[in-house]
Amino acid sequence: MREAHELILLYCEETQQLPVYRAEPWFQFARMLRNVMSHKEGGTLREWPTDLRKKGITSVTRRGRTFDTTMLGQRLVFYPPEGLELVNDQIDFVTVKLS
């Protein structure tokens, strides 16, 4: 999960298409999931991103799943089928929207 997000992020940065990726409705959800998996005790929502907090964004949602600020300090449950759906969304994004 985190590698897919990082790879797309890198490609979009190198090709000046980062705004296209950030505009995806699931981008912040994927970003949050990547952060949770990558930092400290993987799987626990330790902090809410500063940029989202400054914008007043207190939740991120994808296909009915929501992560929000009330979950700080909790382990996030994200099942393999959900992960595969997200990866599929990312593949669709890369093949359809990026040049």
Instruction: Express each pLDDT in 6-56 by its tens digit.
Output: 999 999 999 999 999 999 999 999 999 999 988 777 889 999 999 999 999
Q: Tell me which residue range forms the domain holding 17.
A: 2-97
DSSP for the chain, written as a single string = -HHHHHHHHHHHHHTT-HHHHHTSTTHHHHHHHHHHHHSSSTTB-----HHHHHTT--EEEETTEEEEGGGTTSBPP--HHHHHHHHHHHHHHHHHH--
Domain count, the chain: 1
| Per-residue confidence (pLDDT) for residue 37, from 0 to 100 | 87
Assess whether pLDDT exceeds 90 at residue 2: no
Task: Return the amino acid letter for 99.
Answer: S
- Tokens at residue 58, please? 């207190």
Arithmetic mean of pLDDT, 66-91? 94
Full-model pTM: 0.89
